[in-house]
């Protein structure tokens, strides 16, 4: 049986959501997934639909505030084993006013000093991990994402700030995570801060990292099903946010 991937496409046009969706969708189709593309956030309240997927990919920058029930639904779906993977603002700036979403994804975007066209380096931090094995540090010309990041993330790559002089420069040099994995219940979460425009993934290292991350996140569902795992073990009647 083919695995299933659901892509939520929309939001700010400046991040080329249609092109990114086409790229991701083509890759997953070639990797033997049934791919569904949705262009309305109404799907966020459909728990049955979300839980039927192996992988959920948000490609939706800067959305308006939604009822928390939407994100509780996503949380339960990912917690049951559905993978969550995405890039750039399509994931870690997708719902900037929702703290549960930020907790799930492991970060929120706060700035990109210099905006597009900034030269910077991606430094691989975990060369023995299968998601980064064989990939060396590489240079990029794009938006350099400064993120507020969860220390529980397993960091795979970083970038050094500041490259462009701004108020944050007063703090000196700091390495900000750019690619990481994490768990949300039984679900696997993968984020790659690259992808301001679709052509960023024409860089072989950037695209290889993204492809590996999509497949890795999706595989958590198989493990959860094989082991009979459920999100129920993570549920609590205590206030969590």
Lowest-pLDDT choice from 181-185, 217-221, 230-234? 230-234
pLDDT in the model for residue 64: 72
The C-alpha angle 63, 212, 233, rounded to 5 degrees, equals 65
pLDDT in the model for residue 67: 79
Q: Nearest Cα to 84, choosing from 111, 56, 126?
A: 56
Lowest-pLDDT choice from 84-88, 216-220, 237-241? 237-241
Residue 217, pLDDT > 90, answer: yes
Please state the rounded mean pLDDT for residues 41-53: 95
pLDDT digits (tens, 9 = 90+) for 160-169: 999 999 999 9
Q: What is the mean pLDDT of the chain?
A: 96
Q: Residue ranges per domain, the chain?
A: 3-108+180-234
Burial state string for 190-206 with b = 16 or more CB within 10 A and e = fewer than 16: bbbbbbbbbebbebebb
167 contact partners, CB below 8 Å, separation of at least 6: none
Please state the rounded mean pLDDT for residues 42-51: 95
Query: What is the DSSP pairing of strand 33-38 with strand 154-161?
Result: unpaired
d(CA 13, CA 20) in angstroms, rounded, equals 11
Quick check: pTM over 0.95? Answer: yes
pLDDT in the model for residue 85: 98
Considering only the top CATH level, what class is 3-108+180-234? alpha beta
Cβ atoms of residues 115 and 143 within 8 Å = yes
pLDDT in the model for residue 240: 74
d(CA 74, CA 51) in angstroms, rounded, equals 9
């Amino acid at each position: 049986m083919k695995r299933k991937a659901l892509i939520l496409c929309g939001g700010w046009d400046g991040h080329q959501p249609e092109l990114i969706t086409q790229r991701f969708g083509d890759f997953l189709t070639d990797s033997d997934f049934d791919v569904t593309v949705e262009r309305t956030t109404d799907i966020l309240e459909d728990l049955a639909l979300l839980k039927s997927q192996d992988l959920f990919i948000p490609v939706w920058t800067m959305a308006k505030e939604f009822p928390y029930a939407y994100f509780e639904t996503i949380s339960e779906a990912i917690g049951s084993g559905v993978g969550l993977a995405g890039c750039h603002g399509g994931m870690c700036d997708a719902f900037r006013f929702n703290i549960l979403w930020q907790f799930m994804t492991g970060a929120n975007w706060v700035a990109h000093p210099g905006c597009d066209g900034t030269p910077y380096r991606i430094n691989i931090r975990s060369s023995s991990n299968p998601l980064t094995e064989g990939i060396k540090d590489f240079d990029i010309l794009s938006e350099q994402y400064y993120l507020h990041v969860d220390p529980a993330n397993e960091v795979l790559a970083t970038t050094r700030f500041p490259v462009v002089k701004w108020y944050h420069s007063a703090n000196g040099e700091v390495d900000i995570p750019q690619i990481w994995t994490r768990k949300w219940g039984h679900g696997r979460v993968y984020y790659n801060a690259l992808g301001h425009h679709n052509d960023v993934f024409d860089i072989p290292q950037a695209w290889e990292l993204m492809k590996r991350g999509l497949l890795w996140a999706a595989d958590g569902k198989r493990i959860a099903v094989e082991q009979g795992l459920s999100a129920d073990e993570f549920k609590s009647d205590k206030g969590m946010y």
